[in-house]
Structure 1
């Protein structure tokens, strides 16, 4: 009798855990994938929840139970990791261009909304990649400046799109997944990282959340805040210039180097914006991180910046000014207030206008 009862209970248990979602798709003719895998995460430490062999007509189907976790679908061991947030319903895999996505037959599901955001982000990144060719094809300085400006606008648009995507899933594991998958990008710009963490909201505790917050706190500790450190550095004529010389004026400090192509491209954009900065009452000073003075002077001669140029000099200043200003990547720019307070890191012209007009 016990065996019969146990068998009945087992049958009931199976009935209670029957699959409530299906994920299917049909691979293109050119696909060499022989199997599909459903994983617990992308990268190391992933568990395989399902493995299905692709049929002769290149189709596949996975059934499972919905979960509050983001899973990943891969076509073969080395395939693209496609985020999948399973809820009750039917889902289908689809390839669009170079990227793969999972959609639901119900457009209101979290997965469909997630894929729509990913489509926008991928489209934005494709535009940025296409600009690289335009940059290489630029025939003169004006064309180069236009491309740089377009590139800056596209990156800002991409940041806004990403913050919107995280905000859409505030307080959920999807928000955590989005932040984790894009750490490589947001950790380069703390103010974007800060916006993203705020948009993420209060999310469930997890290893991924802990990793994100630890990185955020680490970067937060490296940000220059409060009063800007004073400096005493030589200009091209050997005259010593101090931060205190600019007291009472807004100052944009540009850390750069002759060997840094993005720095010199940024300087060309800044050169075009310089007349507007002067109208706003903002002075500009360049601080080079070059180790060789002759290379610094050669770059100045070639680029002909309109503002004063200084060179990092530990002996004169007593310390490395780039270290004092917590510079990790160049170009790095700081907007400093008339009383010497750090107002913003890497501000756009629009942000400078807003900050100057507010104070």
Structure 2
């Protein structure tokens, strides 16, 4: 009898402990879910029923898959996650069809859009920074469309009439579109220095070589403001570090230029040509020389090449030379561009970005050029389109 009572008590104890552990687990799970849901990202995607939507966290060195879910019958989806400061996320339908949002704790970010083209056809509520990112990205997309159209026109002229006036018109349009985008993004950062969206604006690029925002003071303002309120954000820390690096670089350039003004007006450049032979810029003393920085992957540089060719044919016999410095890092790409564009002047580059020459001449964007007189003095800077012909016509009559 005593044994049966002991067995019954043991059974009751075991069942009680199991129930206790079960409810403890449920409570722990509930607490964890509560913690993981201090940010909600949800919304409705039209015509997306049954399709998958993915959530990625955007880091400074790439993206990390966080979660995925199916869009329900009403087109709705929802994610929950834990953040302690504003964080960048990508809501993706496919690698090329996604939106960028900025989520902070105790926020619910709502996205409404279409499955077919979420990237350009969506609205966002609950996060002012996410709406600002939307405006920035859509404006940049419009700019890229204009650039692609101009590139198409350029190729058509190049493959057809090769009309130099038409190429000049395209180049002017190209520069105008880029300036308008730069002005727009720079103005945004100046007006929103405390917004995480400003990080998106500061890292926008026209292409691999050229950032949209070139003004260091604008970058400094945003980096300082964001570091003051979001010191733990990795994106903010990286922006701050990059800004300090650029400030130091600017100081070095100013110091170098100050020293150079008491020596030769234009610093010498010693770089190898395609065949590996080092060609010194100083070896061209006695001629008018256009020192032209470019990249084979930069469309603006390639457009300039056609215009430079026209002027080279006119003025080369009169004492004009082009010393073209490549900032490329891929030799085959560089050589291919020289061959395709039929460039017959001096082309040099170390295939490591030609960094010393870039620093010495304070090159901030590609293409950039300097016109030197026979003594190496700088006569003009950043001559584009018809300006090259205009200046050379005066000095080489």
Does TM-score exceed 0.5, indicating one fold? yes
Is residue 89–residue 103 contact of structure 2 (8 Å, CA) maintained in 1?
no
**Residues 300 and 134 of structure 1: is their aligned pair in 2 closer, same or farther, counting only changes over 3 Å?**
closer
Is residue 71–residue 83 contact of structure 1 (8 Å, CA) maintained in 2?
yes
Q: Which residue of 1 aligns with 2:8?
A: none
| Structure 1: gaps (5+ residues) | 234-238, 275-282, 302-308, 314-321, 353-359
Q: Which residue of 1 aligns with 2:275?
A: none
Q: Which residue of 1 aligns with 2:174?
A: 151
**Residues 126 and 262 of structure 1: is their aligned pair in 2 closer, same or farther, counting only changes over 3 Å?**
closer
Q: Which residue of 2 aligns with 1:121?
A: 140
Name the CA distance, whole Å, in 1 between partners of 2:188 and 2:297.
Answer: 36
Work out whether 1:208 is the aligned partner of 2:231: no
Name the CA distance, whole Å, in 2 between partners of 1:117 and 1:126.
Answer: 14
Q: Which residue of 1 aligns with 2:391?
A: none
The equivalences for 1:15-164 within 5 A come to: 23-28=42-47, 33-37=51-55, 39=57, 41=59, 44=62, 46=64, 48=66, 50-62=67-79, 68-76=85-93, 78=95, 80-86=97-103, 88=107, 91-95=110-114, 99-100=119-120, 103-105=123-125, 109-138=128-157, 139-140=160-161, 141=163, 142-164=165-187
Answer with 1 or 2: which has the greater Rg.
Answer: 2
Name the CA distance, whole Å, in 2 between partners of 1:164 and 1:343.
Answer: 32
* Offset at residue 338 of structure 1 (A): 12
* Offset at residue 83 of structure 1 (A): 1.7
Is residue 92–residue 102 contact of structure 1 (8 Å, CA) maintained in 2?
yes
Q: Which residue of 1 aligns with 2:315?
A: none
Is residue 304–residue 384 contact of structure 2 (8 Å, CA) maintained in 1?
no
* Offset at residue 123 of structure 1 (A): 0.8
**TM-score, normalised on structure 1?**
0.59
Q: Which residue of 1 aligns with 2:370?
A: 334
Is residue 124–residue 158 contact of structure 1 (8 Å, CA) maintained in 2?
yes
* Offset at residue 34 of structure 1 (A): 1.7
Is residue 39–residue 73 contact of structure 1 (8 Å, CA) maintained in 2?
yes
**TM-score, normalised on structure 2?**
0.55
For the residue of structure 2 that corresponds to 1:93, the secondary structure is strand
| Structure 2: gaps (5+ residues) | 1-19, 261-265, 272-281, 313-318, 327-333, 389-397
**Residues 33 and 223 of structure 1: is their aligned pair in 2 closer, same or farther, counting only changes over 3 Å?**
farther
* Offset at residue 131 of structure 1 (A): 1.7
Q: Which residue of 1 aligns with 2:210?
A: 188
Is residue 71–residue 84 contact of structure 1 (8 Å, CA) maintained in 2?
yes
Is residue 98–residue 119 contact of structure 2 (8 Å, CA) maintained in 1?
no
Is residue 52–residue 60 contact of structure 1 (8 Å, CA) maintained in 2?
yes
The Cα offsets for residues 247-276 of structure 1, whole Å up to 9 and x where unpaired, read as xxxx863356999986563155468999xx
Name the CA distance, whole Å, in 1 between partners of 2:110 and 2:142.
Answer: 22
**Residues 262 and 44 of structure 1: is their aligned pair in 2 closer, same or farther, counting only changes over 3 Å?**
closer
Is residue 86–residue 196 contact of structure 2 (8 Å, CA) maintained in 1?
yes
Is residue 232–residue 241 contact of structure 1 (8 Å, CA) maintained in 2?
no
Aligned residues: 307
Is residue 22–residue 89 contact of structure 1 (8 Å, CA) maintained in 2?
yes
The Cα offsets for residues 35-87 of structure 1, whole Å up to 9 and x where unpaired, read as 33253548646362x53321134432345678631331333473545221236
RMSD: 5.6
Name the CA distance, whole Å, in 2 between partners of 1:323 and 1:20.
Answer: 44
Work out whether 1:325 is the aligned partner of 2:357: yes
Is residue 149–residue 269 contact of structure 1 (8 Å, CA) maintained in 2?
no
Q: Which residue of 1 aligns with 2:14?
A: none
* Offset at residue 345 of structure 1 (A): 7.0
* Offset at residue 24 of structure 1 (A): 0.3
Equivalent of residue 286 in structure 1, options 304, 322, 331: 322
Is residue 23–residue 91 contact of structure 1 (8 Å, CA) maintained in 2?
yes
Work out whether 1:197 is the aligned partner of 2:219: yes
* Offset at residue 22 of structure 1 (A): 5.4
Work out whether 1:179 is the aligned partner of 2:202: yes
For the residue of structure 2 that corresponds to 1:326, the secondary structure is helix
* Offset at residue 149 of structure 1 (A): 1.9
Is residue 70–residue 77 contact of structure 2 (8 Å, CA) maintained in 1?
yes
